[in-house]
């Protein structure tokens, strides 16, 4: 596989100087924090994905911020789940968009989580290898300090209520097999309505679909956003300002493009993004290793946040490996 560092649409902020002065974000609060330990899906390799149990354990283990995914049920309720269907992580089956909130919350969100192996949601283990199976439904006693509800599919509202002082990154998903972009936009509208009464400055809303990001910002301009794929590409290729309200660029470390592996996050990428007035939060592509060696490299490159499926392990690395003095953005 060839490895490239090139300006490429849809994948990177590479080879382009800082954004025009009019696009700069003065006093961006996301540039004044330490390297954020961002628990991706609550740390889905350490705890059951996108559950209150995972979020509580991740924060207790040192995470600074929660990353979660939201979708819309058939009765227009915002629930927290990564996938289009409930099949992979719960004891149910079918699309999120075809189920009511009551049906969703009757499921066991810890049903298929196992701490064993590299695939923590495999369906081929013996029943005893799934330690949280049955907690949500009352068939098994919850761990000390937790309750059955911590293992059900949560609503976004319940997460924000449970973590009123914890920054949260909210990704808008589509919820059909076809992943119709118009559905992302509709879900952005439902999310904006859900957040209409929320007075917080520690939320970031993002989606791969730029129209969803744009529509959300139109409806909730006070909440920071991160660009989608086309928003990143436009700023990368011609320096055009990203969408209004942008506070951070959330980038993979690498991206597979055909038979080539493109370096997306590099020291130059981070420096240029900082000069534009934006934070850099990284996530792990298919070819990236979510582990200590990569985390130390990202810290040395001055990223502002690392989205990890191992927040407890990442915290140990962040305590031992500090950013270089030259990492102050600006």
- Catalytically active residues are 40, 82
CA distance 305 to 36: 4
Cβ atoms 31, 283 nearer than 8 A: no
3-state secondary structure the chain: CEEECCCCCCCCCCCCCCCCHHHCCCCCHHHCCCCEEEEECCCCCCCCCCCHHHHHHHHHCCCCEEEEEEEECCCCCEEECCCCECCCCCCCCCEHHHCCHHHHHCCCCCCCCCCCCCCCCCCCCCHHHCCCCCCCCCCCCCCCCCCHHHHCCCEHHHHHHHCCCCCEEEEECCCCCCCCHHHHHHHHHHHHHHCCCCCCCCEEEECCCHHHHHHHHHHCCCCEEECCHHHHHHHHHHCCCCCCCECEEEEECEEEECCEEEECCCHHHHHHHHHCCCEEEEECCCCCCCCHHHHHHHHHCCCCEEEECCHHHHHHHHHHCCCCHHHCCC
d(CA 201, CA 194): 16
Largest CA-CA distance found in the chain, in angstroms, rounded? 59
CB 112 within 8 A of CB 44: no
């Amino acid at each position: 596989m060839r490895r490239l560092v090139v300006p490429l649409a849809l994948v990177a902020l590479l080879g382009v100087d800082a954004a025009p002065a009019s696009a700069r974000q003065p006093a961006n609060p996301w540039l004044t924090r330490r390297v954020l330990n961002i628990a991706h899906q609550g740390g889905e390799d350490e705890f059951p994905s996108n559950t209150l149990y995972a979020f509580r354990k991740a924060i207790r283990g040192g995470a600074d911020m929660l990353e979660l995914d939201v979708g819309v049920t058939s009765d227009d309720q915002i629930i927290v789940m990564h996938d289009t269907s409930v099949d992979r992580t719960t004891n149910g089956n079918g699309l999120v968009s075809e189920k009511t909130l009551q049906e969703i919350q009757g499921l066991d969100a810890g049903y298929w989580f196992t701490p064993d192996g590299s695939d923590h949601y495999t369906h081929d283990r013996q029943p005893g290898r799934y330690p949280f199976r049955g907690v949500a439904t009352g068939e098994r006693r919850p761990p000390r300090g937790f309750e059955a509800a911590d293992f059900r599919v949560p609503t976004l509202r319940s997460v924000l209520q449970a973590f009123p002082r914890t920054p949260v990154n909210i990704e808008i998903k589509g919820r059909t097999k076809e992943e119709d972009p118009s559905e992302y936009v509709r879900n952005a509208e439902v999310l904006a309505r859900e957040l209409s009464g929320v007075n917080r400055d520690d939320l970031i809303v993002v989606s791969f679909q730029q129209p969803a990001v744009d529509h959300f910002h139109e409806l909730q301009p006070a909440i920071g956003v991160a660009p989608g794929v086309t928003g990143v590409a436009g700023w990368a290729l011609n320096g055009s300002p990203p969408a209004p309200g942008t506070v951070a660029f959330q980038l993979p470390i690498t991206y597979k493009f055909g038979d080539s592996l493109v370096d997306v996050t590099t020291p130059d990428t981070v420096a240029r993004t900082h000069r534009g007035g934006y934070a850099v939060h990284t996530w792990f592509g298919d070819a990236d290793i979510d582990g200590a060696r990569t985390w130390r490299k990202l810290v040395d490159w001055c990223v502002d946040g690392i989205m990890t499926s191992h927040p407890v392990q990442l915290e140990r690395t962040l305590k031992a490996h500090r950013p270089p003095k030259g990492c102050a953005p600006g």
